[in-house]
Amino acid sequence: MLKSVNCMEEKCSLSSIALQNSAKICEVECSESLKNRLYDLGILENTIITPIFASPFGDPTAYLIKNAIVALRRKDCENIIVNPLK
């Protein structure tokens, strides 16, 4: 697990969050072009995100973000650092 001054709690990648468990986005670690694309989809720091459905082979996964559903690939989710909510 990763630790950060920003979240002050244990963190992990978004791809490791189980279905129906919410998490708070702490950081997006990727290229600027991908980061801007994710920001346009509502994937911003301090936003609550919930994986709600996985495709039969597990990639992509549908996430609920601010009352919108967005499908993300596992490789992109590994660059999104979150703090699981209890």
Give pLDDT tens digits for 65-82: 999 999 999 999 999 999
How far is residue 68 from each of residues 13, 29, 51, 59, 64, measured CA to CA in Å?
A: 20, 22, 12, 19, 6
CB–CB of 28/37 below 8 Å?
no
Q: What's the token pair of residue 5? A: 């001054």
Question: Is 78 within a domain?
Answer: yes
| pLDDT for position 9 | 64
Question: Is 7 within a domain?
Answer: no
Question: Is 71 within a domain?
Answer: yes
| pLDDT for position 5 | 43
Give pLDDT tens digits for 1-43: 444 444 556 889 999 999 999 999 999 999 999 999 999 999 9
Tell me the C-alpha distance between 26 and 85, whole Å. 12
What pTM does this model have? Answer: 0.83
Tally the domains of the chain.
Answer: 1
Q: What's the token pair of residue 18? A: 């189980």
Query: At 25, which CATH number?
Result: 2.30.30.90
Question: Is 4 within a domain?
Answer: no
